[in-house]
């Protein structure tokens, strides 16, 4: 499905009809669906093809149970692949949630460590479930139903910014293709461009939530997408998406869909054309730069330099300790004020301030009523 720019307007009209009909039924011919979940400020992508599933990232802590229930709603009982693009909390938390719920064939994660609770929960989930986990080689390819995906990064080590460790992939089904780069920044994007791999893609999931430190001209021109999907939180404090990224899309006439304006975005492909659950909004408005923190989430040469195991943004988002009530018999986590706590027998009741992630990694699940 390659780029008929002259027909963009006609296509946009056709798409809105396609979008309407997809509300009624999923097109019978669709073989691969790419869901970019609305996880606010974070990223989570589900790829399904012929009963095979891959989860790429899972959003932040507050979205973990949403991601798990979204997967359950798709009828998923197991995952073929789970990719943890890198270990920042806005990508990794929901991965841990999913690994604790769904049997998983193969986990891919990059070769660095992080000194965060969620990273340790990730490691303990892998250990307790005896999951296969490895850093995939750049260039390697894996099959997922009718689709396949190729690993594009990271090809380097010792990055001063952990975002550059992001595992980038290109998914292909027939003549259609999708590119996802996680939070890879300019340095890693340049390596992706030098790797002599096919980059040209119909759909580009914007790197690092539309930050100006990603989506370089070089990458964008190599990918040459017809559509971009942006995953970011409305009114996020980073000012994502940044104006320079939005201007690049506009100047290349790339149609835009965004989770902060449109919710979860689903692209369906039969291998020759792509249909959407919503039409592109083509709203290129950047985030409010006044909301940017004094110290951005991920600037190259920041305090993480020379020590990739420390991630300032992750440690900042670790919440103050919360008290939970556990039912050691049903393995549920509750807030102290949940009505089930009153009915719980004393012998099954346990009070704890352990982190939610750590409890989940021990096999506990959050109560569906109080939603801890
Ligand atoms: Zn991120
Ligand atoms: Zn990141």
Instruction: Give the number of the ligand closest to the Cα of residue 166.
Output: 2
Q: Is the peptide bond before 86 cis (omega within 30 degrees of 0)?
A: no
Q: What is the DSSP code (8-state) at residue 290?
A: G
- Please answer whether residues 57 and 182 qualify as being in contact, where contact means their C-beta atoms are separated by less than 8 angstroms: yes
Q: Helix 117-128 and helix 89-101: axis angle, to 10°?
A: 20
Distance (Å) from CA 323 to ligand 2 centroid? 28
Q: What is the largest CA-CA distance in the chain?
A: 70
Q: What is the pLDDT of residue 30?
A: 63
Q: What is the pLDDT of residue 215?
A: 98
- The two tokens of residue 346 are 């004393």
Alpha helices, DSSP H, located in 74-133: 89-101, 117-128
d(Cα 156, Cα 166) in Å, to the nearest integer? 11
Distance (Å) from CA 123 to ligand 1 centroid? 20
Instruction: Give the number of the ligand closest to the Cα of residue 43.
Output: 1
- Relative to beta strand 203-205, strand 52-56 is unpaired
Distance (Å) from CA 183 to ligand 2 centroid? 5
- The two tokens of residue 45 are 């992508």
Distance (Å) from CA 163 to ligand 2 centroid? 5
Distance (Å) from CA 35 to ligand 2 centroid? 20
Distance (Å) from CA 242 to ligand 1 centroid? 14
Cβ atoms within 10 Å, residue 256: 21
Looking up tokens 């292909």, which residue turns up?
Answer: 172
What is the rounded radius of gyration, in angstroms, for the C-alpha atoms of the chain? 20
Distance (Å) from CA 327 to ligand 2 centroid? 34
Distance (Å) from CA 198 to ligand 1 centroid? 24
Q: What is the pLDDT of residue 352?
A: 83
Nearest to 110 by CA among 132, 126, 133, 139: 133
- 60-83 b/e (C-beta count within 10 Å ≥ 16 → b): bbebbbbbbebbeeeebeebbbbb
User: Which CATH architecture fits 5-286?
Assistant: 4-Layer Sandwich (3.60)
Q: Which residues pair with 365 in a beta bridge?
A: 332
Distance (Å) from CA 305 to ligand 2 centroid? 15
Distance (Å) from CA 330 to ligand 2 centroid? 35
Instruction: Give the number of the ligand closest to the Cα of residue 60.
Output: 1
Distance (Å) from CA 194 to ligand 1 centroid? 24
Cβ atoms within 10 Å, residue 187: 18
Instruction: Give the number of the ligand closest to the Cα of residue 41.
Output: 1
Q: What is the pLDDT of residue 304?
A: 36
d(Cα 1, Cα 301) in Å, to the nearest integer? 40
- Please answer whether residues 181 and 153 qualify as being in contact, where contact means their C-beta atoms are separated by less than 8 angstroms: yes
Per-residue pLDDT of the chain (372 residues; tens, 9 = 90+): 655 443 343 344 444 444 444 444 454 556 999 999 999 999 999 999 999 999 999 999 999 999 999 999 999 999 999 999 999 999 999 999 999 999 999 999 999 999 999 999 999 999 999 999 999 999 999 999 999 999 999 999 999 999 999 999 999 999 999 999 999 999 999 999 999 999 999 999 999 999 999 999 999 999 999 999 999 999 999 999 999 999 999 999 999 999 999 999 999 999 999 999 999 999 999 998 665 444 444 443 333 333 333 333 333 333 446 788 888 877 888 877 776 776 777 777 888 877 777 777 777 788 767 678
Distance (Å) from CA 88 to ligand 1 centroid? 6
Q: What is the pLDDT of residue 291?
A: 52
d(Cα 224, Cα 203) in Å, to the nearest integer? 9
Per-domain residue ranges of the chain: 5-286, 321-366
d(Cα 57, Cα 66) in Å, to the nearest integer? 13
């Amino acid at each position: 499905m390659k780029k008929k720019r002259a027909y963009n307007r006609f296509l946009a009209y056709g798409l809105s009809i396609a979008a309407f009909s997809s509300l009624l039924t999923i097109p019978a011919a669709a073989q691969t669906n790419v869901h970019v979940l609305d996880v606010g400020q974070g990223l989570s992508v589900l790829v399904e093809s012929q009963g095979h599933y891959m989860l790429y990232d899972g959003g932040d802590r507050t979205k973990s149970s949403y991601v798990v229930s979204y997967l359950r709603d798709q009828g998923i009982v197991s995952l073929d692949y789970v990719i943890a693009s890198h270990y920042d909390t806005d990508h990794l938390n929901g991965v841990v949630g999913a690994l604790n719920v769904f049997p998983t064939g193969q986990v891919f994660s990059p070769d660095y460590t992080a000194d965060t609770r969620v990273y340790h929960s990730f490691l303990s989930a892998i250990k307790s479930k005896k999951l296969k986990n490895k850093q995939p080689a750049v260039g390697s390819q894996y099959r997922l139903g009718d689709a396949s995906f190729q690993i594009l990064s990271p090809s380097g080590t010792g990055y001063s910014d952990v975002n550059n460790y992001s595992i980038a992939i290109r998914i292909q089904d027939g003549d259609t293709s999708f590119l996802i780069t996680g939070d890879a920044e300019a340095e890693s994007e340049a390596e992706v461009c030098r790797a002599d791999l096919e980059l040209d893609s119909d759909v580009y999931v914007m790197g690092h939530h539309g930050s100006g430190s990603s989506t370089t001209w070089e990458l964008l021109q190599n990918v040459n997408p017809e559509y971009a999907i942006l995953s970011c939180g409305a009114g996020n404090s980073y000012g994502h998406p940044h104006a320079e990224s939005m201007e690049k899309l506009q100047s290349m006439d790339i149609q835009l869909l965004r989770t902060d304006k449109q919710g979860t975005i689903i692209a369906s492909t039969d291998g020759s054309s792509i249909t959407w659950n919503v039409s592109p909004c083509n709203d290129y408005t950047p985030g409010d730069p006044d909301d940017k923190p004094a110290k951005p989430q991920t600037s190259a040469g920041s305090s993480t330099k020379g020590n990739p195991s420390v991630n300032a943004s992750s440690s900042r988002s670790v919440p103050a300790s919360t008290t939970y009530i556990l039912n050691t018999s049903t393995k549920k986590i509750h807030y102290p004020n949940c009505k089930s706590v009153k009915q719980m027998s004393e012998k099954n009741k346990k009070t704890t301030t352990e982190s939610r992630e750590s409890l989940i990694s021990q096999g506990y699940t959050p109560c569906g009523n109080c939603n801890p």
